[in-house]
Amino acid sequence: MKGQNTLQIDVASLQKCYGALWSYGEICVYCDCCNKNTKIRRKARLKYWKWWLKQNLEFDLWAIESPTLLALQKKNVHRNIQEAQKKIRYYLDKKK
Ligand SMILES: [Zn+2]
């Protein structure tokens, strides 16, 4: 079933694919986050998390007219930033 708000990933090998999330699509867009080569995969994932961190740090579509939505946005962006920083540290450590 296809829906506007559904993210469907059928192929098992795509479970680790960030590209599908990145592009909101259903197929790997050669993201390399699911590459079988560990070195290439780590580098791609680090790039992805840096991009995600930047997206959240620069987020400025705040719903200032709605205190409820604004609070939710702040919570989500804060959580996204923390997760991205954690992942970046993880993938930087893996390079040692
Ligand atoms: Zn992929």
How far does residue 66's CA lie from ligand 1's centre (Å)?
Answer: 37
Query: What are the two backbone dihedrals, phi and then psi, of residue 30, each rounded to the nearest 5 degrees?
Result: 55, 45
pLDDT in tens, 80-92: 999 999 999 999 9
Interacting residues of 83 by C-beta distance below 8 A, sequence separation 6+: none
Q: Is the pTM of this model over 0.85?
A: no
Average pLDDT for residues 49-61, to the nearest whole number? 96
3-state DSSP percent of the chain in helix, strand and coil, to 5:
55, 0, 45
CA 47 to CA 7: how far, in whole Å?
22
Cα of 20 to ligand 1 centre, how many Å? 7
Question: Domain map of the chain by residue range?
Answer: 1-34, 37-96
